[in-house]
Amino acid sequence: MKEDSYNTKLSLNQQPAGSQQMCRTIEEDALAVDHHVDMSSSTSDDLNLIPPLNFAIVDNGIFRSGFPDSANFSFLQTLKLTSIIYLCPEPYPEANTEFLKSDGIKLFQFGIESYKEPFVNIPEDTIREALRLVLDVRNHPVLIHCNRGKHRTGCLVGCLRKLQRWCLSSVFDEYQRFAAAKARVSDQSGECSVLHRIN
């Protein structure tokens, strides 16, 4: 694929006057994007299909994981992603941005801070906007990720599960499976307060 066949543009979602920027979007306009990965002529040495940390299928066309690095790019190409929803405030690394360009993947970034203090909630409007993007099939296949694919990703997936009419005990069970021993009571209570307001 040719680098010069892409135009990168940075756009901000329309926000009412005086409101904070909720989502940073990087769109890759591909003039000739070929999402096909030919594996028939590859040997096992050519393919290092390593999924990112905490990778899982959430639903048809929806995946979750921790932060992907260059060792995961071959695996991610097999998913034929259209979009990535990144839930951290830190800038996306250059190597990852170049990967997005080369594969024509759109990045939606929501700068959700990682809190260790109890009783801190993830902003409801941010979760609603991220959830809107997850539900829009035009963004599928989509990968949702934060740093480790645990807390912020777990909260967004938990809200999706609520919309899918999962019972709260099943939502929390899935959350804890990915968060492992570091599951935070404050995250669950914060998630629960967001889940009760998401319809």
Instruction: Report the distance separating Cα 41 and Cα 11, nearest Å.
Output: 39
**Catalytic pick from 23, 88, 146, 155?**
146
DSSP 58-82: EETTEEEES---GGGHHHHHHHT-S
Say whether 23 is catalytic: no
Instruction: Report the distance separating Cα 47 and Cα 39, nearest Å.
Output: 8
Whether omega before 141 lies within 30 degrees of 0, making that bond cis, reads yes
What angle do helix axes 185-197 and 124-135 make, rounded to 10 degrees? 70
Tell me which residues are annotated as active site: 146
